Amino acid sequence: MALPLLDSRTENGKIRPATRLLRIVISECAFLVWKLRYERLLNVNTETPERVIYPQEAKNRTLSLINSRLEVDMALSNKRRYGKEAIPS
């Protein structure tokens, strides 16, 4: 809930462009951790009592999720396509 309060500023007080990237990465990773935990606990079959999520699977899903979210962010901040309605970069 406090993620919008997070900002990284330069020495002269301007917000760095990497702040939006940092917010995206933190929020998406937190959501993915939640999803992986509940996927492991709630998707229980009678054949496999508890699903194991391997580190490589978690890494691949994290990279995929962040890349797809960044593609959406880059598309929405495209000033040539959206003009004044683009998200400020």
Containing 66, the helix (H) or strand (E) segment is helix 55-76
> For residue range 14-71, what is the model confidence (pLDDT) as tens digits?
767 778 888 888 889 999 999 988 887 777 666 666 678 889 999 999 999 999 999 9
Asked whether residue 3 carries a pLDDT value surpassing 80, the answer given is no
46 close to 38: Cβ distance less than 8 angstroms = no
Q: Domain coordinates of the chain in residue numbers?
A: 17-22+40-77
What is the model's pTM?
0.71
Burial state string for 54-71 with b = 16 or more CB within 10 A and e = fewer than 16: eeeeeeeebeebbeebee
